[in-house]
Structure 1
Amino acid sequence: MVNDMKDAVHAVHAAAVMGLLPARPRVLALGEPTHGEDVLLDVRNELFRQLVEREGYRTIGIESDCLMGLVVDDHVTSGTGTLDEVMERGFSHGWGAAAGNRELVRWMRAYNEGRPPSERVRFAGLDGPLEISHAASPRQALTALHGHLAARVDADLLPCDAETLDRLLGDDERWANPATMMDPSESVGRSAEAGELRLIADDLVALLDAETPHLVATSSREEMERARLYGRAAVGLLRYHHWMADTSPGRMRRLLGLRSSMIAANVLAVAERGPALVHAHNAHFQREKSTIRMGDAPFEWWSSGAIVSAFLGEEYVFLATALGTIRHRGVDTPPADTVEGLLYGLRKDRCLLDPRRLAAALGDTPPSPRVSPWFGYAPLDPAHLAGIDGIVFVGDLPPN
């Protein structure tokens, strides 16, 4: 079977990726099966660089806070702030400490230097302003959206003034309390103030839509994009906080689904600019439902990729990354009867494969699912092959 696959193996290169596809997609999503590995970010950076230079992609988005990402976008497009400042303030989830992300930002800034705005590469955070343990205060998003509108429309159209908004928001620490994830009673998401803020956020977004002709005439395209981002973030955060205060059995599934839909909305928004490259965990970008088990409780929800694919159809392409070994995490040589085992047998350190050719080589004998001894790595699900447009395989991950 390995011999049957050798002519279907390609270098991980932009031309090879495009060769798998009928046309350049609007969104090309590259997933990874684990986080925090330098080699995977190096692979991403090189492939994305080629796609920018040869295929005209003009946005790169990663799995990081969408509001913090504005700091990075300002830097790569106009040089605002130092690289050290941007890596500290422009990323969530600890991503700013990753050498691969630092190199990505450095390259984007160098690429944009001296280019006209239409040719510059933009950066976007795709995630909501969320961490595993808590969600951020909606202050930044709400006050920025309110300020954008207050500067451009009549005051009597606004649902409240800035002072009322500040009073209702109160102390930011009470919103970001990490105890709320495990104890819904700690959440302020269903307080009277939070309820009023949800209505205000809804009214501000509705006003943004209603005044679009005037706002387009008095704002730059970038200002309008950011106002809509603030609206999405404000509404999404307040909705997320509301369900953090829920005590029903569906609470966790609802929160997981909300995060997924926030990522999808941000992906669709950057796709409106033009062709976009996005990077996150395989589980976010797959076309199937995502699943997770917490204790004895399994949870299932639609992935961001499934949502985006429902909107974009063939304009959405998903490349999944598969791995051979992560020995420093206890993940050794994959069993030969798994997808990873078959690919590992090709003896290629890095390669790109057409999953249709792989499925044909497998025939009527489905591979066994690989089981990881480490919770931080999710092997490729062989049942998902039909929903993958390309497989990037990396044989061995050395320690960072």
Structure 2
Amino acid sequence: MVIDIKDTAQPVEAAAVMSLLPARPRLLALGEPTHGEDTLLDLRNELFQQLVEQEGYRTIAIESDCMMGLLVDDYVTSGVGALDDVMERGFSHGWGASGANRELVCRMRAYNVRAENDGRPASERLRFTGFDGPLEIHAAASPRQALTALHAYLSLRVDTDLLPCTGETLDRLLGADEQWTDPAAMMDPAQSVGQSAEAGRLRLLADDLVALLDAQTPYLITTTSRGEWDRACLYGRTATGLLRYHHWMADASPARMARLVGVRDQMMAHNLLALAVRGPALVHAHNSHLQREKSTMRMDGMPPLEWWSAGALVSAQLGKEYAFVATALGTIGHHGVGTPPPDTLEGLLYALTQECGVIDAGRLATALGDTRPAPRTSPWFGYSPFDPAHLAAADALVFVKDVRRS
């Protein structure tokens, strides 16, 4: 397959990305095909800085625990906490150890200090958010933190008679957190408490608390700050999402894993839709969470899992106000991912002379015509090559030629 694509690549800069979009999106999603590589995170940081300076973006959302991310947001907006502690406790999946993530937090704090000194309003300061649920690979968090925080917010502000339960009742029903976070429950449904009588009661109470928060919105947004109300909504989304996730952890049907990955992306989508109300934001996560098509995953001994990604769910609601920029890459030498075969999409892109570039995905798809490159396979499980069948559904494609060890 011969195709001249050299003239289609531009430097990965905000202006180049925006030139490929019909308008400034409310959510600009930048995907990555692997995690934990500072080469990709440095690129993200630079793009975010340019979006702030040139396009008025003020928020970045990353694939990290939404509750833990509140610590990072408090630090970058108000200087609350110590940097080392924020990096340790403000990120999930161990990503606080990343030098690029630390650099991002430091840059955001420095920008906000300048904004404070200049007397800019709070709306002009940068915000950080995690948009993933409190879900690690090996376990899901207890709903305690989110549920009790929502109850505490409401108990201070609405008539006690309107509350569906007391804090003591919640504490009794929640029991020990260890029963919720038991890693054995991930592989054995019988070890999960998600369908116990107590869990069922908690789901009803969480629903009632969220309904009360919604019903009292006109009063709450005038008597507390909008930021406090936003956090209460986050508590509600997280509590109901976690309880739903734990419910399906206790399910023994063949659809169990598909439901779990679907619930996770649904939690992500709800957080992103809430974020979109605040103004334009850069979203960064794995391609599989941000793409518009159904996502798939293979697990040993199981049929392929399929589910609608957060990006697909958000795009269905926001339309052109959601943009997806996928990332593909050539090599990850330290993980045994060598030069891509020439008949793959990555192989075609590897012919570019630049180290990285952003490409008009639609134009490239048109140039390729009906003949699509062969799908690439990876010798390393931690890297997911870009599916060439998804090219036309992406707004742009970033190609990084070589990912070097962080």
TM-score scaled by length of structure 1: 0.98
Deviation at 1:117, TM superposition (A): 0.3
Are 1:165 and 2:165 counterparts? no
Match of 1:44? 44
Deviation at 1:82, TM superposition (A): 1.2
Match of 1:59? 59
Deviation at 1:337, TM superposition (A): 1.1
Q: Is the 8 A contact 1:344 1:395 kept in 2?
A: yes
SS of 1:294's partner is coil
Cα distance in 2 between the residues matched to 1:26 and 1:265: 15
Aligned runs of 1:209-220 on 2, under 5 Å? 209-220=214-225
Deviation at 1:347, TM superposition (A): 2.1
Aligned runs of 1:33-112 on 2, under 5 Å? 33-112=33-112
Q: Find 1:116's aligned residue among 109, 112, 121.
A: 121
Cα distance in 1 between the residues matched to 2:36 and 2:235: 28
Aligned runs of 1:143-162 on 2, under 5 Å? 143-162=148-167
Cα distance in 1 between the residues matched to 2:221 and 2:15: 38
Spell out, residue by residue over 1:68-113, the C-alpha distance to the aligned partner (whole angstroms, 9 max, x if none). Answer: 0000000000000111010011010111111111111111101111
Cα distance in 2 between the residues matched to 1:63 and 1:39: 17
**Stretch moving more, 165-174 or 72-81:** 165-174
Match of 1:206? 211
Deviation at 1:197, TM superposition (A): 0.6
SS of 2:31's partner is strand
Q: Find 2:352's aligned residue among 318, 334, 346.
A: 346
Are 1:358 and 2:360 counterparts? no
Gaps of 5+ in 1: none
Cα distance in 1 between the residues matched to 2:182 and 2:142: 10
Question: 1:136 is aligned with what amino acid?
Answer: A
Deviation at 1:362, TM superposition (A): 1.8
**Stretch moving more, 325-334 or 356-365:** 356-365
Match of 2:316? 310
Match of 2:291? 286
Question: 1:296 is aligned with what amino acid?
Answer: G
**Stretch moving more, 359-368 or 160-169:** 359-368
Spell out, residue by residue over 1:320-344, the C-alpha distance to the aligned partner (whole angstroms, 9 max, x if none). Answer: 1110001111111101111101110
Deviation at 1:48, TM superposition (A): 0.8
Q: Find 1:126's aligned residue among 127, 131, 134.
A: 131
Deviation at 1:360, TM superposition (A): 2.8
Q: Is the 8 A contact 2:292 2:309 kept in 1?
A: yes
Deviation at 1:21, TM superposition (A): 0.9
Spell out, residue by residue over 1:3-56, the C-alpha distance to the aligned partner (whole angstroms, 9 max, x if none). Answer: 722221100001101111111000000000001111000000001110011100
Q: Is the 8 A contact 1:28 1:277 kept in 2?
A: yes
Q: Is the 8 A contact 1:2 1:346 kept in 2?
A: no
Gaps of 5+ in 2: none
Q: Is the 8 A contact 1:2 1:345 kept in 2?
A: no
Q: Is the 8 A contact 2:30 2:324 kept in 1?
A: yes
Cα distance in 2 between the residues matched to 1:140 and 1:186: 22
Question: 1:96 is aligned with what amino acid?
Answer: G
The list of structure 1 runs, each at least 4 consecutive aligned residues, that deviate by more than 3 angstroms after superposition, is none
Question: 1:12 is aligned with what amino acid?
Answer: V
Cα distance in 2 between the residues matched to 1:352 and 1:213: 44
SS of 1:322's partner is strand
Cα distance in 1 between the residues matched to 2:353 and 2:367: 17
SS of 1:181's partner is helix
SS of 2:187's partner is coil
Q: Is the 8 A contact 2:328 2:385 kept in 1?
A: yes
Quick one: percent identity of the two aligned structures?
A: 71
Q: Is the 8 A contact 2:3 2:367 kept in 1?
A: no
Match of 2:195? 190
SS of 1:123's partner is strand
TM-score scaled by length of structure 2: 0.97
Cα distance in 2 between the residues matched to 1:6 and 1:173: 55
Cα distance in 1 between the residues matched to 2:249 and 2:371: 44
Deviation at 1:365, TM superposition (A): 2.2
Question: 1:44 is aligned with what amino acid?
Answer: R
